[in-house]
Amino acid sequence: MKRTTIVDVGRLAGVSAKTVSRVLNGEPHVSADVQQRVRAAADTLDYHPNVFAQALVRRKSNMIGLVYENPSPSYVVELQRGVLERLTAERYRLVVIPIRSVQENASEVVGLLRSAALDGVVLAPPASDHPLILKQLHEARIYCARIAPTRMIDAAPSNLVDDVAAAREIAAYVIGLGHRDMAIIRGDATHPSSEARMLGYTQAFHQAGLELKFDRIEPGLFTFDSGLAAARHILARPDRPTAILAQNDDMAVGAMMAAREFGLSIPDDLSVAGFDDSEVSRITWPRLTTVRQPVFEMAVAATEMVIAQLEEREPVRRLVHPHTLLVRESTAPPRA
C-alpha cells in the first residue's frame, strides 16, 4: 500500500508540496485559507509526517533522551510516563538510555548520547549530579535538564526536591509514634540522594534526642532484593528494632517480605516506612507509609525545559517540587 506523501496532500489542496511543508511545520506567512485547505487534505488522506525526513531537513534528530541508573522499576516507569506525557502531540520522540553504573561509565555517557544524535536529554539521578557529564554535554552543545540534583544547581535547568526535609519528616513521624529503636536501609551510596536522605534521618534523630547507631544502618542498592537481604540481617539480631526506615519503596517492600519470613506482623511487631510513593507502595499490603517524591511531575517539567531550549525559548532554570508525607497502614506505635 503506497504511503501518502506531501505531494498527494498538495495535489488535493491545490498547492505545492513546499507550501504543504510550510503549513505542517507551522511556518509563518501562509494564508488562513491555504492552511485550512492543506490541513483538511491531510486529514482526508490520513497523512502523517515522516519524522526522519523532517529531521534531515532541519538537521535535527527530533529525539530526546532519558538517562537513568536507578534500578527501581516503579521509579523508571514514572520517569518514562512523565517524559512521554510532555511529548504527546510533539514531533520529538523518546530514546531511553539506561546506564548500569554512572560512576563507572561517566566518561562514556556523552559519547553514547552523541552517537544517538540526540537533540536533548533529561538526566535522572545520579547522572543529573555528575560534573563530567554536565561539562561534556555543554561542550557537545546537547541541551539538558536535570531531575533531583543536589549539587551545582545552576549548571543546567533543574527540578528540585528537598530530600533532606522529606527524610527528616518521615523519620520524625515514625519517632512520633513512639519508636526509639529503629534501623535504616540505605540506598546506593554512589547516589547523592542517599546521602541527603541519611542527613534528614540524622536531623530527625538529633531533634528527638535519640542516638543514631551506625550498627543499625544496613547498605542497600535501591532494589527489592537488597532491601530483603538487609532486613534479613537486621531481623536476625537478638536486639531486633521496632521500626525500619528504607530509603526507597522497593527496599521497604523487601523489608516487609523479610518480616513475614521471620513470622512478624506489620505493623504490630514491626513498622516499615519507605520513600518515593512508587506504585509498589500502593499495591502491597499493608500499604506502605512513605514520602511522595513527584517523579512524574519532575519528568514532565524537565522535558519541557529541554523542549524550550530546542525551540529557543528561555527555560525555567530552577523548579522546586513539594514532597508529601503519606501515612498508611505499615506503621503504628510499637507494642508496649
User: Residues of the chain with pLDDT > 90: what percent?
Assistant: 50
Whether residue 20 has pLDDT greater than 90: no
> Regarding predicted confidence, which is higher, 108 or 53?
108
Chain-wide mean pLDDT for the chain?
Answer: 88
Total residues belonging to the chain: 336
pLDDT at 232: 97
This model's pTM is above 0.85 = no
Give the pLDDT confidence of 167-178 residue by residue, as tens digits.
Answer: 999 999 999 999
pLDDT at 96: 84
pLDDT at 256: 97
Q: How large is the average pLDDT for residues 31-38? A: 89
pLDDT at 43: 87
Split at pLDDT 50, 70, 90, the class of 82 is: very high
Q: How large is the average pLDDT for residues 143-155? A: 88
Residue 50: C-alpha distances to residues 6, 35, 47, 53, 92 (Å): 10, 19, 9, 5, 12
pLDDT at 56: 45
- Name every residue whose Cβ is closer than 8 Å to that of residue 31 and which is 6 or more positions away in sequence: none
Give the pLDDT confidence of 297-313 residue by residue, as tens digits.
Answer: 999 999 999 999 998 89
Q: Would you call 263 helix, strand, or coil by DSSP?
A: coil
Contact predicate 143/151, CB 8 Å: no
Q: Evaluate the omega torsion of the peptide bond into residue 267 and state whether it is cis, within 30 degrees of 0.
A: yes
Amino acid letter, residue 176: G
Contact predicate 306/120, CB 8 Å: yes
**How far apart are the C-alpha atoms of 112 and 95, rounded to whole Å?**
12
Query: For the chain, how are helix, strand and coil distributed in percent, rounded to 5?
Result: 50, 15, 35
Give the pLDDT confidence of 46-79 residue by residue, as tens digits.
Answer: 887 655 555 545 556 688 889 888 667 788 888 9
Contact predicate 30/23, CB 8 Å: yes
Residue 333: exposure state from Cβ atoms within 10 A (0-12, 13-18, ≥19): middle
Q: Would you call 132 helix, strand, or coil by DSSP?
A: helix
